[in-house]
Structure 1
Amino acid sequence: MSPTISVIMSVYNDSKYLEKSIESILNQTYNDFEFIICNDCSSDDSLSIIEKYAMLDKRIVIINNQDNLGLATSLNKCLDIAKGEFIARMDSDDISLPNRFKEELDFLKTHSEIAVVGCKCNVIDDLGEKRKEFLIHEGEVTLLDAIKKTQIIHPTVMMRKSALLKVSGYTVDEKTQRAEDYDLWCKLLEKGYKIFNIDRILFLYREGISGIKKRKYRYRIQEYQLKKYWMKKKKVPIITYLYAIKPLFVGCIPTVLMNMYKRIN
């Protein structure tokens, strides 16, 4: 019998946090799931950690990329073999609280009109210390909301697989290298699917200094290009283009100032 939920996660050199991330999934109160983990050609000991847990829990399915293919391609490979009716995302440096799957699944089962549900988070730093509570957008997300900026935290979501298949999963393109989630939400909403954020803390989202260092300026240019594409396609008001330009300005802020901002917010 197929599992109800397929959890999909791509891993690239995240051995520092990987064990806690995997354990947070295996310790969910709702346990009818498979856990598909794609090792995207990590050079650290991420694969050995994944293999260790796979020996202990048969719900874990491993995909091992021989080359580094990127997040969108790796997640699509997970989707290709997923057997569940629902798809839950997870990132290799975050933590799902024990009741996350139960609450998100209950919501989707009682709200048949919703295709994607996300949740509120506690933001933690590199040391796992709580910094703040975080919910980008409470309630239903409209297409205009999504075009302005990413309105749902990608690793928190549970989605109907049927909806993902209708939009051909994640777009693999240079512009979506660091914005595959933004593009996915726009595609789903354009097709008439609904997205909703619940105001419940079910997730610990890691946002540390190491994450800031990963945000290369070329990714900000790609994000700008992607947003401009969607804004032009849907003919949004001119003032909305300010949301596309914002990442370019933020990328000009010196790292030391961004680090100070992260520490006080």
Structure 2
Amino acid sequence: MLTKNKKSVVGIFTVGNSRRTEAQLRAALKSGYTQPILFVRPGDVLTDFSRQFESMPVNSAAEASSLIKARFPEEIPFFNNWEEVTPPAPEPKKIKEHPIIQEITSPVEASKYRKSFSCDVIIPYSGPNYRYLDDAIKSILNQNFVTTTIHLINDGMERDPVGQKYARLENVRLYKNVDGPVGPYITYSRLFDYLEHDFIANQDSDDIALPMRLYKSLQILDQGFDIVGGAMEQFVAYEDGSERMRQALTLKPYHFSGKVYAASPSGAIVNSTAVMKKSVYEACNGMAPWTAGADSEFYQRCITAGFKAVAMQEVIALRRLHNPSLSNDQVNSGHGSHLREEIKRLTAESIERQLYGPDHSIGGLAQHRNDTELQKLN
């Protein structure tokens, strides 16, 4: 706060030539304020009212501030529109580099006692992957040492005999996006308030989880981590005659979490192996409401914000290579499509922005958690 005493005025300045500003400054002079005051006004002349109205040309308020500080190194209280305001905060400092997630294993040892875990598993599905859905659901039902609640979300299909069949089970919940397909990421956010446990697992409807997938993952999270991803062995089904998929398998037989990519500079989390604390998803405002690629941006955003992610180096699931899948559909959503290139651009912008401090505005949870288009069917 400014104080009055009998000392002479150090300096009172204005940028601009407003008569009202001048009157305010003259009043301040008569009152005997002893610290320099900067009135930021649109204009082009810096006037020092305590030095016989000496004027200096300036191009901006920032330049005026620099001139004043050069004369008076002591702290200057800033005023705007004749009201005291806090001096502008310093430019945020960019962190030097992205943190790299740890790579570990999660062995399941023989034991007479095992800690029990529980977990929500989210399986959204639509037309292209529907013929594989039965395998995906069975692989979650076959999880060892973990109590699961399985959330099946029909993303816009008229008929859903597979979902209806499994909805009879006690631990299966069935939903439908009546405006679908909207994609998995909007679906995750719509489903959030239906979740029943403290941990969330993603399961792609065309992939197969190995029986210890969830137990190994939750065993790691129990050590104090927030997010865990694992490794997947890729495969092409015998009935798939696609030479392109077999070539892709030849080039990349395994898919590992922890690998560094442009979209995952801290190390990737393979989404169909991911398990996380429910609280992390909420704290980071969920995944962006895109139709593809939002998982990479989300996990990187979580890691940069300080949540502890880890990459399990064991194969805990099988990843089916087929066309069209969300990643391999070259026309609509896969790598090489116009949509995927746009998502790469948005992801790069988000990664850069996070280096200046957490910014979860891109997430879709707040926007979609109360959507009425998700209907619970059982």
TM over 0.5: yes
CA distance in 1, matches of 2:227, 2:262: 15
The answer to whether the Cα contact below 8 Å between 1:5 and 1:86 also exists between their aligned partners in 2 is: yes
1:115 aligns with 2:226: yes
Alignment of 1:75-154 (within 5 A): 75-109=188-222, 111-112=223-224, 114-127=225-238, 131=249, 132-137=253-258, 147-148=264-265, 151-154=268-271
Structure-2 residue corresponding to 1:30:
145
1:218 aligns with 2:331: no
> Cα deviation per residue 1:64-102 (whole Å; 9 max; x = unaligned)?
111112221111122221011110110110000011111
Alignment of 1:62-81 (within 5 A): 62-68=174-180, 69-81=182-194
* 1:134 Cα deviation from its structure 2 partner: 2.4
AA at the equivalent of 1:183: E
- Structure 1 residues 166 and 90, CA, compared in 2 at 3 Å: closer, same or farther? same
Which of 268, 286, 292 does residue 178 from structure 1 map onto? 292
CA distance in 2, matches of 1:7, 1:128: 28
CA distance in 1, matches of 2:355, 2:148: 41
Give the alignment's TM-score, normalised by structure 2. 0.54
* 1:165 Cα deviation from its structure 2 partner: 0.9
The answer to whether the Cα contact below 8 Å between 2:258 and 2:267 also exists between their aligned partners in 1 is: no
- Structure 1 residues 179 and 9, CA, compared in 2 at 3 Å: closer, same or farther? same
1:21 aligns with 2:136: yes
- Structure 1 residues 125 and 5, CA, compared in 2 at 3 Å: closer, same or farther? same
AA at the equivalent of 2:338: R
* 1:42 Cα deviation from its structure 2 partner: 1.8
AA at the equivalent of 2:131: K
* 1:207 Cα deviation from its structure 2 partner: 1.8
CA distance in 2, matches of 1:235, 1:84: 32
Which fold has the larger relative contact order, with Cα–Cα distance below 8 Å and residues 6 or more apart in sequence?
1
Which of 139, 146, 159 does residue 276 from structure 2 map onto? 159
CA distance in 1, matches of 2:340, 2:266: 13
- Structure 1 residues 192 and 204, CA, compared in 2 at 3 Å: closer, same or farther? same
AA at the equivalent of 1:24: S
Which structure shows the higher helix fraction? 1
| SS at structure 1 position matched to 2:173 | strand
Structure-2 residue corresponding to 1:254:
none
Structure-1 residue corresponding to 2:111:
none
- Structure 1 residues 29 and 198, CA, compared in 2 at 3 Å: closer, same or farther? same
Structure-2 residue corresponding to 1:207:
321
> Cα deviation per residue 1:150-176 (whole Å; 9 max; x = unaligned)?
71210111100111110122222xxx3
CA distance in 2, matches of 1:124, 1:98: 17
| SS at structure 2 position matched to 1:210 | coil
Q: Report the RMSD for the aligned CA atoms in angstroms.
A: 2.5
> Cα deviation per residue 1:3-61 (whole Å; 9 max; x = unaligned)?
82111111111221011111000111124110011111125x4x210110111x21000
CA distance in 2, matches of 1:218, 1:64: 28
Structure-1 residue corresponding to 2:54:
none
The answer to whether the Cα contact below 8 Å between 1:116 and 1:194 also exists between their aligned partners in 2 is: yes
Report the identity percentage: 22
The answer to whether the Cα contact below 8 Å between 2:263 and 2:344 also exists between their aligned partners in 1 is: no
Give the alignment's TM-score, normalised by structure 1. 0.76
CA distance in 2, matches of 1:25, 1:61: 13
- Structure 1 residues 17 and 150, CA, compared in 2 at 3 Å: closer, same or farther? farther
CA distance in 1, matches of 2:218, 2:354: 31
CA distance in 1, matches of 2:347, 2:207: 26
Say which one has the larger Rg: 2
The answer to whether the Cα contact below 8 Å between 1:118 and 1:158 also exists between their aligned partners in 2 is: yes
| SS at structure 2 position matched to 1:105 | helix
Q: How many residues align?
A: 222
| SS at structure 2 position matched to 1:192 | coil
CA distance in 1, matches of 2:139, 2:210: 7
Which of 53, 56, 61 does residue 166 from structure 2 map onto? 53
CA distance in 2, matches of 1:215, 1:204: 25
